[in-house]
Structure 1
């Protein structure tokens, strides 16, 4: 069913400062009417959405942009929709309407029908248009700024002259991600306009209870060495002129800017907001400053009454026609298979790697990863390597040693101590055609970026059909007396969230292969690298044309007594333990190195369990809620009645990782504890 025809004035989604203030009176009037038309469309649509919500035709809730039109409409009209980058926030329906798409598409999103942009998988304002560089927001305030920074940098690297637009409120200005992102953009020198939508309330909390400083929020810009400005969005024409100048300054200078915009929230935080926290008569002041009627009065005073009324009539009719159209769209079908299929981006074709190095060289685990990173940087121009101290210093474990000298700072670069923003930045680069590889100094620090990895990178494809090919390298594991905050196994913690893949190699060759396999995947991939393996042994490493086999378990030994499944550093201990039982007791085990933690291709292991009827799972993570529990569950739910003994789980104790060597040894699986546990189990 075709969408209703657009009113002619909505066919133009662009505005220039010259049009608004030029010598051509007719052009200036046309530009002002265009600005008013989009403001009226946004306000009327927001009001109708609220009414439809109260009628029960829209579910969830709605967060209206009534009063914010003097900010978002002129700014979006002034943006270059062919190259700029944005992520609109809760009060920015007008921006969505202008940036791309038909009104019906946006209404479909609110109705959560079968034709909604997110296929009814996200609610209300949580949509975007990643293909056209409008990123869909999540509710965690501040985290989207760094995604915009990364995608803006990708546009710059592609030779464009973009501006990135980020939006956050006075409440959101207190979040750490906002500060991390402004510092990162200033450090990298990227053309990003940080816009504070200051409506003076964070839900019900007034400014006086949000921050102690009595200076204006835009003055925080000085702390990052960037320019700060203030704009009054209750004056639509004045705001348009001010935004035009700010955008031109950012575009021409290539530097970020912080703009604090005085704006309004006329309908409370959301549809359910009673606004009973306002002082008596306070809302009267809000409505008195409403930019829409003020702008309308200006146009009427300029002799445009007939034109304004004609526009309003045409737009109101158009809105009602679109509402009827979207209400008639079918409800979504709960096709579970289709939903599950979209959690991950489709499999990628193998990249055309050069068959080098063809001759095997003895390398340790760290050197193998370095060699793989060199191969990626040499053969793949879209690749980037970033992380803390990975450039000149070569990383905390020297895994990236020498890469900066050979590939330059544009491809291999340090990031500040801001894991969340830097990870969001990597996600933005991935959305813009790059394939970044980010190193965390220790996997423990990934908790600082958990939202970016698990709720942004991992959900983009399901929510918006966007691919996020990024690799997160995580030095992990204990045994080196590094204590609680540098030794944890976080695999089960991260992989409890859908949309992430993970590899955990145990040999230098598998480490080399894992880098290539993870790099070419179109999904975010966690690459766990056990620190104790970095320099444990050397082994021959060469380019393996079957490198993708790292996504499947490796069969290390054949036996009939029990199936043993393990991964990471525990593989070596499992080999020693099973060899002991073979030599001393003539008991043979079927031993598997899992290698891939997600997805879990367990066919070979299931075939083994069907033959042995006994299962042992060994892993370094803590026992309770550890990854071994998932393995046992998946394997035994199919073979429960065939098992001849209860599954044996060997894991670390349920406590923080202790520091002293004696205490850490008591915490983790060791060869003695593994053999004792198996012996007791055998009975």
Structure 2
């Protein structure tokens, strides 16, 4: 292995050596503790230290790094106290996840590190968001993100690379090509000579670096980082290296030919660099021994601190409270000046006023800029706010939702317009695993609103007419809002944007231009978790949301003799159970109407809650009315048959007669 010092001084050369030695010695100790059952799992980076250390050493401390399993050198080079790392791996409170996640699945704003999730690919999209924030703020900073060669097969990776190239984001995309994705060799992972070649398809610069040569890594990355700070652009970097141990220790390395292991063992980044420094007269055997003694002593001292820490203790209240970031809701009252608006107009006006209120709010989505979105809600926004803040995106829901997460990490708000709520399936993973879980895992909120045009009544078929709120009410960490009226939509959208937690904001397409209401002209907010009681009566409680509210109103208009409490839930998570329970205790009967299909819908949970909390007040079984358990069909007569709309009247009358 050939090392080129370039103009590096002795202090830097020795520092790079010590920075590689430290994670190696920590790992050797961790492997002992793993066998002793003192840690639960370990993903070894032995043989790859030059990449983590070289890359991190080239970054500024204020620049974000998004590492993976085998990047212990990132954490140690950023000088995270070892006892905190050891506490993290033992699931203790002084770690970074309060015992809720393990190993390297954590981030820390204190050290500008954003940890991975097991799905790997989302890291690249999140890096896009952090880099976008840096570019918008003209910080002249680089974001660096890691993945392995196996992870590059994931769709999220391709989406994120494309977004970074189109937007010219200052990201260094680092691929550690270490030979195997668990046990699958590279020739079964991809069919090109070098992964760096893929950059050509994205119009992106690329480099191949010997990942076992610390000076080549450091010097090249230092040069690239300096260049990208001045000339923002993404660069794809492939590090050629090898994984000397199993994917994780339990998997072993029996599938690796011994000759290959021997070949890469001879390329050990620490042994070779150590010998180079000795040959150059920069390092002695005595100094190596001294460094090892000092690092081992630091490891043992910090292990003692971690061992002395008491096992983590929590309560159900603490756990539940940490699912969401605390939101200090502040009411902004409406003015007395009103004008008649359609639902679509109220949403557009509410979004515009939030853009005026929050200078750090970014809108992203397909066709949202000059075209104004397919429903024209952002029409004219580019003229007022500019294309930096109103951003057309490629067709890549996953990467854009991840980018929104990255913006939140960097302190910016975002609204993502899903062209149709059905298309959220292409970004389902980052919604339910990244946005939803980050605050609970490592205290990082996701200040993201996903606008979700949804619902039937427009003859759009199985891929454009779903109302899929139940996919998300099931997921702790997400808030779900579903207004039925223009007044509510405007005020609730303002609250959603103010809320630092991820909010899915459902907008029923059939209501966009069919429902009108007098709406205050200025900015105002409406709190989540407060249902609206639209009608009051003693006979029965009707619970609905979205378009179903209007179906219920139409039915009651046909039967003026029915005295019902009609509850419009408005938000599904949080859910206003108090209003529901008080009404049911009064009326003794409850019917829940939803547009969604029956099985697994939120009506089932509401019914169960009523049975658990109001059973002794009930005079009849709780009734759920929902659409057929089929995909939603296209043609009108089939859509009418599918929907719960025309079933509601008969079921309501039957329940009243029970």
C-alpha displacement of 1:274? 2.2
Q: Contact 1:97 / 1:106 at 8 angstroms: preserved in 2?
A: no
Which of 171, 190, 202 is residue 181 of structure 2 equivalent to? 202
Aligned to 2:369: 391
CA offsets per residue over residues 518-553 of structure 1, 9 Å max, x none?
010010011000000000032111157863245410
Paired with 1:350 and 1:120, the residues of 2 have a C-alpha distance of: 33
Map residues 560-575 of structure 1 onto 2, 5 A cutoff.
Answer: 560-575=538-553
CA offsets per residue over residues 27-75 of structure 1, 9 Å max, x none?
722111111111111111112112111110112x211111110111011
Aligned to 2:617: 642
* CA pair 603-512 structure 1, distance change in 2 beyond 3 A: same
Paired with 1:647 and 1:617, the residues of 2 have a C-alpha distance of: 8
SS in 1 for 2:119: coil
SS in 2 for 1:606: helix
Q: Contact 2:329 / 2:527 at 8 angstroms: preserved in 1?
A: no
Paired with 2:345 and 2:521, the residues of 1 have a C-alpha distance of: 14
Paired with 2:528 and 2:246, the residues of 1 have a C-alpha distance of: 53
Paired with 1:668 and 1:653, the residues of 2 have a C-alpha distance of: 7
Which of 420, 423, 430 is residue 408 of structure 2 equivalent to? 430
Matched, 1:525 2:492: no
SS in 2 for 1:385: strand
Aligned length: 653
CA offsets per residue over residues 170-220 of structure 1, 9 Å max, x none?
10011111110011011111110000000011110001111223x211011
- Answer with 477-486 or 546-555: which moved more: 546-555
Which of 45, 53, 78 is residue 99 of structure 1 equivalent to? 78
Which of 308, 314, 326 is residue 334 of structure 1 equivalent to? 314
Aligned to 2:360: 382
Aligned to 1:81: 61
Aligned to 2:13: 32
Aligned to 1:241: 219
Aligned to 2:653: 679
Aligned to 1:9: none
Paired with 1:382 and 1:131, the residues of 2 have a C-alpha distance of: 22
Aligned to 1:53: 34
Aligned to 2:453: 475
Paired with 1:102 and 1:279, the residues of 2 have a C-alpha distance of: 38
Aligned to 2:390: 412
Matched, 1:143 2:122: yes
SS in 1 for 2:325: coil
Aligned to 2:105: 126
SS in 2 for 1:182: helix
Paired with 2:373 and 2:78, the residues of 1 have a C-alpha distance of: 41
SS in 1 for 2:368: coil
Matched, 1:159 2:144: no
Which of 564, 587, 606 is residue 589 of structure 1 equivalent to? 564
- Please give the root-mean-square deviation of Cα atoms over the aligned residues, in Å: 1.7
C-alpha displacement of 1:339? 0.8
Any unmatched runs of 5+ in structure 1?
1-16
Paired with 2:253 and 2:273, the residues of 1 have a C-alpha distance of: 26
Q: Contact 1:388 / 1:395 at 8 angstroms: preserved in 2?
A: yes
C-alpha displacement of 1:579? 3.0
Paired with 2:136 and 2:287, the residues of 1 have a C-alpha distance of: 44
C-alpha displacement of 1:349? 4.4
Paired with 2:522 and 2:558, the residues of 1 have a C-alpha distance of: 31
Aligned to 2:276: 298
C-alpha displacement of 1:114? 2.2
Q: Contact 2:135 / 2:232 at 8 angstroms: preserved in 1?
A: no
Paired with 2:290 and 2:410, the residues of 1 have a C-alpha distance of: 42
Paired with 1:357 and 1:544, the residues of 2 have a C-alpha distance of: 6
Q: Contact 1:624 / 1:654 at 8 angstroms: preserved in 2?
A: yes
* CA pair 601-617 structure 1, distance change in 2 beyond 3 A: same
Paired with 2:396 and 2:148, the residues of 1 have a C-alpha distance of: 21
Paired with 2:354 and 2:311, the residues of 1 have a C-alpha distance of: 45
Q: Contact 1:350 / 1:520 at 8 angstroms: preserved in 2?
A: no
Q: Contact 2:80 / 2:111 at 8 angstroms: preserved in 1?
A: no
SS in 2 for 1:547: coil
Which of 207, 221, 234 is residue 229 of structure 1 equivalent to? 207
Q: Contact 1:348 / 1:522 at 8 angstroms: preserved in 2?
A: no
- Answer with 171-180 or 307-316: which moved more: 307-316
Aligned to 1:623: 598
With the length of structure 1 as denominator, give the TM-score of the two structures. 0.93
C-alpha displacement of 1:575? 1.1
C-alpha displacement of 1:495? 1.8
SS in 2 for 1:165: strand
Q: Contact 1:510 / 1:550 at 8 angstroms: preserved in 2?
A: no
SS in 2 for 1:555: strand
* CA pair 641-621 structure 1, distance change in 2 beyond 3 A: same
Map residues 208-357 of structure 1 onto 2, 5 A cutoff.
Answer: 208-213=187-192, 215-303=193-281, 304-305=283-284, 306-350=286-330
Q: Contact 2:245 / 2:252 at 8 angstroms: preserved in 1?
A: no
Paired with 1:668 and 1:651, the residues of 2 have a C-alpha distance of: 7
CA offsets per residue over residues 436-487 of structure 1, 9 Å max, x none?
1110000000111111111111111111112221110000111111000111
* CA pair 112-35 structure 1, distance change in 2 beyond 3 A: same
SS in 2 for 1:651: strand
Q: Contact 1:100 / 1:129 at 8 angstroms: preserved in 2?
A: no
Q: Contact 2:539 / 2:656 at 8 angstroms: preserved in 1?
A: no
C-alpha displacement of 1:152? 1.8
Aligned to 2:155: 176
Any unmatched runs of 5+ in structure 2?
none
* CA pair 382-131 structure 1, distance change in 2 beyond 3 A: farther
C-alpha displacement of 1:131? 4.3
With the length of structure 2 as denominator, give the TM-score of the two structures. 0.96
* CA pair 459-299 structure 1, distance change in 2 beyond 3 A: same
Aligned to 1:508: 486
Aligned to 2:6: 21
C-alpha displacement of 1:164? 0.8
